[in-house]
Amino acid sequence: MEPSEDSFQLEDIQLEEFYDAPGEVDEEETLEAIQSSVKKVPEKPELPVRPPQPAVASAPIVVEDYIRNYLKKMGMTKTLQSFQDEWYESAHDSSSDPVVDSYAQIQELDEQVLRLQTDLQTKEEFAKKATVLFEKLRKERDFHKMHHRRVVEEKNRLIKDMKRLVRHNAHYEPALAEMKSRYESAMKDKMLLKLEKDKFVNRVEVLEETMRQMQANSSLSPAAAALAASILQSSPLTQMEGGGSKLLNPTQSSLIRSKEIKAGKGTMKGARQAQLDKKSKTTGEGIKLPPPAVPITAKQRPSNELLPEPAKKAESYKAAKTFQGHQLAVTSITKHPKRDIIVTTSDDTTWKMWMLPNGELIMSGDGHKDWVGGAAFHPGGAKIATGSGDCTVKIWDFVQQACTATLAEHTGGVWAVSFNDTGEYLASASMDGQTKIWDSGTGKCAITLRGHVDSVNDVHFLPYSTMLATTSADKTVSLWDARIGACVQSFYGHANVCNKVAVNRQCDTLASTDADGFVHIWDTRTVNLRTKFNCGPHPANGISFDGSSQILAVASDDRSIKIIYIEEDLQRQSSNTQRPPQSLTLSPHTTQLHIPPPVTYPPITRMLRQHGDQVLDVLFDDANRFLLSCSSDHSFILWN
């Protein structure tokens, strides 16, 4: 069903509608208004504290009493009598103005001032609390504004993703319709071929019956017999064997023709091949092959090469030391070919070189503009190559302490790099679906390997070989011949994105990981899947063989390192694997294909745990002395 435009009501939200609206109260102006409305009273000087003293309460002195006491003291009795008479008259006379008691009025005003000061202090405290509350509300409002902005941006992004998915989904309908039409056309062709076959069968039967009748009557002339024989021989459905006829279908006839072509019968190609073979036998001259596209060479494998003993009880390794050296996730780890020196790469756009076992920082490289996905030492040990999300590969020289070359022909981020064993060429795997082989001396691209239809996630040169292995997000593992730039073999079997690949020292086994947590073991001699191990359900991010090529360490997204003993776990798995009955049926009257349920594999239980986040890469020492791992928790750990 094709989605209609009315089924989705998606609209982008403009952030400007929610912020800086006209008429909005400015918080700074409001705060200033509150502060200006509060009248601050100058603080009174503090008086020295005196111990409490006993005091005699006395009634306030009024004016009339003072005058009476004075006149009595002076002996002015007549004047006192006159004053009292006039005073009582004026007190009972309502028309006269009362005498103002200034002392009582002053006390009343003092009490009023005290009340006003108390009210002022209360209001000042309230204003301070209101200011604190206003500041808190303003901060909360700013926080909610920022949160709302993030929500709106996330919603707009989701709307864009939904629209993109709707457009992407619309492309499937024509593809499905085309596949349906092709299927119907193939079924029609099949029916027509069946009818044609039946017609030829009937024709052959009629001719054979006619020949038998004519031979029985002995009336067939030599010319007619030759004509009948030519008709029978020209039929694609018969083959004369000892004077009889045998019914052949179109597939059998095509196989016969292919065998004749391979044998060099009846074709110009076969005749030419016979002449060349005859010439080579008589003159000793052979066919000259064209020169290789990349003049790459490989070292000879030492005849006395000895492999170390397998790591004993690798699952009981202990974290000897944890190193914190990067600001973001540590994406990969690689070891110097001759010394106990390692290089780690990180999402913080840097790589760093460390001395083991104490973890002293030797050197740091800062020049990429995006995450650094992988690094590889030059076999000589004096250079290192790094690949980054800025679509470049950089070659760094330790002697010059600088970047000597920047290779920038990829159009996507570079996940991994690998030198061949002579150091003349460097391979890089990129998100653009290409693997490029560079001349490490000139910095030019020697050849581009195309064949994957999705991101190439890892690349490794095989030891003592001109072959290299790649893994891709298209769920395949491929082997390439670097001399001619061609894919010589692709391994199919992964059900999800292939992340990493590892090669053992003998070059006869490949191990690859995928996003479902499965580890596939491939035999490069028989080009078959030998077995697979279940390290899921979390993705397997990295893998490494030990020096003996008998043990595997797998970096998992569940913050653990899985340990696999290949032969031992293979025997245990063969005895515990649940294999349902194998059946595959296809009815001639229906288009449904009945596929048996998949085989289940028991999970790997040996593991090491110490990291606080997903483990991104793991590496065994060639002599099985220690194990290294790096993680998204910004650290790498030395295990022994």
Return the closest-CA partner of residue 569 out of 615, 604, 544, 543. Answer: 604
Q: What is the mean pLDDT of each run of 10 residues along the chain (640 residues)?
A: 50 52 56 58 51 54 78 88 85 62 82 94 94 94 93 94 90 87 85 82 84 70 54 46 42 44 41 43 41 71 72 78 91 92 94 90 91 94 94 92 92 94 93 93 92 93 91 94 90 92 90 94 89 90 90 92 88 64 48 55 85 93 90 92
| pTM higher than the cut 0.85 | no
Location of structure tokens 């060479």: 297
Distance CA 235, CA 14 (A): 76
Return the closest-CA partner of residue 357 out of 369, 340, 343. Answer: 340
Distance CA 577, CA 570 (A): 10
**CATH architecture for segment(s) 329-542:** 7 Propeller (2.130)
- DSSP per-residue codes, 126-195: HHHHHHHHHHHHHHHHHHHHHHHHHHHHHHHHHHHHHHHHHHHHHTHHHHHHHHHHHHHHHHHHHHHHHH
Terminal C-alpha separation, the chain: 59
Contact 552, 594 (CB under 8 A): no
- DSSP per-residue codes, 313-375: TGGG--EEEEEE--SS-EEEEEE-SSSSEEEEEETTSEEEEEETTTTEEEEEEE--SS-EEEE
pLDDT of residue 236: 45
Distance CA 343, CA 385 (A): 11
pLDDT of residue 254: 41
pLDDT of residue 522: 93
Sequence length of the chain is 640
Q: Hey, is 77 helix, strand or coil?
A: helix
Contact 449, 479 (CB under 8 A): no
pLDDT of residue 141: 94
Return the closest-CA partner of residue 375 out of 345, 348, 353. Answer: 345
- Which residues neighbour 173 within 8 Å (Cβ) at sequence distance 6 or greater? 2
Distance CA 544, CA 555 (A): 9
Indicate the domain borders of the chain.
Answer: 112-170, 329-542
Conformation bin of residue 135: beta by default, left when phi > 0, alpha when psi is -120 to 50: alpha
Distance CA 337, CA 528 (A): 31
pLDDT of residue 52: 56
C-alpha gyration radius of the chain: 48
Please name the amino acid found at residue 411.
T
Residue 195 CB neighbour total at 10 angstroms:
10
